[in-house]
Amino acid sequence: MTNRYAIIENGLVANVVVADAEFAAQNGWIACPDAGPGWKYDGAAFTEPDPVVIEAAPAPTKEQLLAQLNALSAQIQALE
């Protein structure tokens, strides 16, 4: 029977593979029904990675947009 196994590198799940138990044991892979790449492994348990927080850049102000428009308009006029 095949199961999911984690390939651990430096305490992190580097990859998850499907293999039979004997082959996984020969390679030192750890059974992991739920873990995935990026999860932490402390030798006994898997822990989900910290969530990635993506902060959106602030929207440009009206003044910044007008300055960009003026700069582009000047470049267009220089081409004519």
- Divide the 80 residues of the chain into consecutive groups of 10 and give the mean pLDDT of each group: 91 96 96 94 95 92 95 92
Q: What is the pLDDT of residues 6-18, one digit of tens each?
A: 999 999 999 999 9
Give residue 1's pLDDT.
66
Give residue 52's pLDDT.
87
DSSP of 21-63: HHHHHHHT-EE-SS--TT-EE-SS-EEPPPPPP-PPPPPPPHH
Give residue 80's pLDDT.
82
